[in-house]
Amino acid sequence: MIILRLVLKSLWNRRGVAALTVFAITISVTLFLSVDKIRTGARDSFANTISGTDVIVGARTGPVQLLLYAVFRIGNATNNISWKSYLDIEKQRETEWVVPISLGDSHKGFRVLGTTQVYFEKFRYARKRSLSFQVGRPFSHVLDVVLGAEVAKELGYDVGDKIIISHGLDKAGFTKHDNLPFSIVGVLAATGTPVDQTVHISLQGIEAIHIGWGSGSRTRNRAIGPQDIETMKLQPKAVTAVLVGLKSKMQVFRFQRAINEYSGEPLMAILPGVALQELWTLMGTVEKALVIISMFVVIAGLLGMLTMILSGLNERRREMAILRSVGAMPVHIMALFVIEALLLSVVGACLGVVLTFVGLGLAQSFIEAQYGLYLTVSPPGMREGIVVLGVAAAGAIVGLWPAWRAYRLSVADGLVVRL
């Protein structure tokens, strides 16, 4: 095929510019595929923020709101669940395990979560992965604290350090529970979930720091110290929400109804999967915007190619006249340009696929460790094939423009180029 040979030799002759053009397309396709991978990765990891928990119980509010404060630590609970209700939930026939959650305090902007040791056993994220410790162990003493990975990293804490917990969520922390410093006994491994940004203490710890506190400030002059705690009975009076594991998934709806109809106080039970999906649809716009932006980058890459081909067109009119003189048809001249565009975009797209997989493959463990985002790097398949085909088709279509101009020029010029 003489035209293909001519295209190859011509491109080789312009290899510097051609390589840059291919590079631009490669980068744009890499970006597009990476955004796609990260988007699916983020969606999966979002959907896996919490797993293994069948039902979340909280005071009556909207499902998304309950999910937001119980799982994402965003916003505040309107109401608490009394300790009696908590015990009732635990006593339900269907209940296998319960993890209470008590929110409301913070440490340097990170939320403090009061819970029990069951939390470390039963909390699951990302397809039933359990929490693991980077260093240390779960809390066992009232004044023990376990940090999420990001908290430890950002604040530079290590096991053995002492921290003070602030009352409320104010980052400035004017009102501090500074009478009771907590000591760090463990740091969790990164999960890519809000757990990383959470400071975990026991329910008794929460209770202890609030002894002598009224609504938002100290009411008694006498602040208790660490030595007092040993002798006190620290009975929690309320929790914010309860994560519940059921004996059988079949009982989810019956359990949910039982909670919603609980007579003690108005409670609500949500299924985390359903609520997560509801929340994700809110974020779908961002996801779409990302895809659209990366598509525009691919278009920009192809426009770069168009510029290169068009700018070389005039210089190549003599070449076109020579080819016409040895018998090339105007269609051959058109093919010269379409094939060139096709070739550049196919090579660019294929290199983009390769670069994406090599790049993500290399960065995978780093991304997981840093951001807790698990990306599945599978060998290029259907999806990548479609992207390559799409870019090739778009490239060929883009190439039609210079090809048509070349066709017109070569028909008008005939054998003699009048420049």
Residue with tokens 């290590």: 158
Q: Two tokens at 119?
A: 């939390």
Distance of CA 104 to the CA centre of its chain: 26
| Minimum CB distance to other proteins, residue 8 (Å) | 10
Q: Quick one: which of 214, 216, 327, 381 contacts other proteins (CB under 8 A)?
A: 327
Among 31, 199, 323, 373, binds other proteins (CB under 8 A): 323
Least distance CB 2 / other proteins (angstroms): 4
Dist CA 143 CA 180 (whole Å)? 8
Decide: 97 and 247 in contact? Cβ < 8 Å.
Answer: no
**For residue 333, what are the β-bridge partners?**
none
Q: Using CB under 8 A, which of the segments 72-80, 200-208, 236-244, 313-321 binds other proteins?
A: 313-321
Identify the residue among 330, 359, 380, 390 touching other proteins (CB under 8 A).
330
Q: 213: helix, coil or strand? A: strand
Q: Which two tokens stand for residue 147?
A: 């940090």
Residue 325 in the binding site for other proteins (CB under 8 A): yes
Q: Binding of other proteins at residue 324 (CB under 8 A)?
A: yes
Question: Please, what's the b/e burial string for 270-280 (b: 16 or more CB within 10 A of its CB; e: otherwise)?
Answer: bbbeebbeebe
Choose between 10 and 82: whose C-beta lies nearer to other proteins: 10
Nearer to other proteins, 130 or 325 (CB): 325
- 60 lies in the binding site for other proteins (CB under 8 A): no
Which of 267, 416, 399 lies closest to 338 in space, CA to CA?
399
Query: In this complex, which beta carbon is closest to other proteins, that of residue 265 or of residue 413?
Result: 413
Residue 416 within binding range of other proteins, rule CB under 8 A: yes
Stretch that binds other proteins, among 19-27, 328-336, 349-357, 391-399 (CB under 8 A): 328-336
What is the separation, in whole angstroms, between the first and last Cα of the chain?
30
Give the one residue of 42, 298, 321, 347 binding other proteins; rule: CB under 8 A: 321
Length of the chain: 419
Closer residue to other proteins, CB minimum distance, 7 or 373: 7
CA 315 to chain centre: 49
Three-state DSSP class for residue 350: helix
- Using DSSP bridges, classify how beta strands 95-107 and 241-246 pair: parallel, antiparallel or unpaired: antiparallel
Number of residues that bind other proteins (CB under 8 A): 24
As given in the structure block, the two tokens for residue 66 are: 């309950």
Residue from 87, 286, 329, 386 touching other proteins (CB under 8 A): that is: 329
- 3-state SS class at 180: coil
Q: Which residue has the tokens 């090809």?
A: 403
312 lies in the site for other proteins, by CB under 8 A: no
Dihedrals φ, ψ of 48, to 5°? -105, 15
Binding letters toward other proteins, positions 357-396, x by CB under 8 A: ----------------------------------------
Considering the complex, what minimum distance in angstroms separates the CB of residue 385 from other proteins?
Answer: 32
Binding mask 272-311 for other proteins (x = CB under 8 A): ----------------------------------------
CA 11 – CA 19 distance, rounded (Å): 9
The Cα angle at residue 125 between residues 124 and 131, in degrees rounded to 5: 60
The CB-of-318 to other proteins minimum distance in angstroms stands at 5
Say how far apart CA 294 and CA 280 lie, in whole Å: 21
x-marked contacts with other proteins along 2-21 as a string, rule CB under 8 A:
x--xx--xx-xxx-------
Alpha-carbon gap, residue 242 to 89, rounded angstroms: 9
Q: By CB under 8 A, is residue 419 in contact with other proteins?
A: no
328 binds other proteins (CB under 8 A): yes
* Residues 62, 391 contacting (CB under 8 angstroms): no
Asked whether position 44 contacts other proteins by CB under 8 A, the answer is: no
**C-alpha distance from residue 53 to each of 100, 115, 197, 278, 366 (Å):** 12, 15, 20, 17, 28
Of the listed pieces 148-156, 184-192, 322-330, 345-353, which binds other proteins according to CB under 8 A? 322-330
Residue 319 binding other proteins, by CB under 8 A: yes
Binding site for other proteins (CB under 8 A): 2, 5-6, 9-10, 12-14, 318-319, 321-331, 414-416
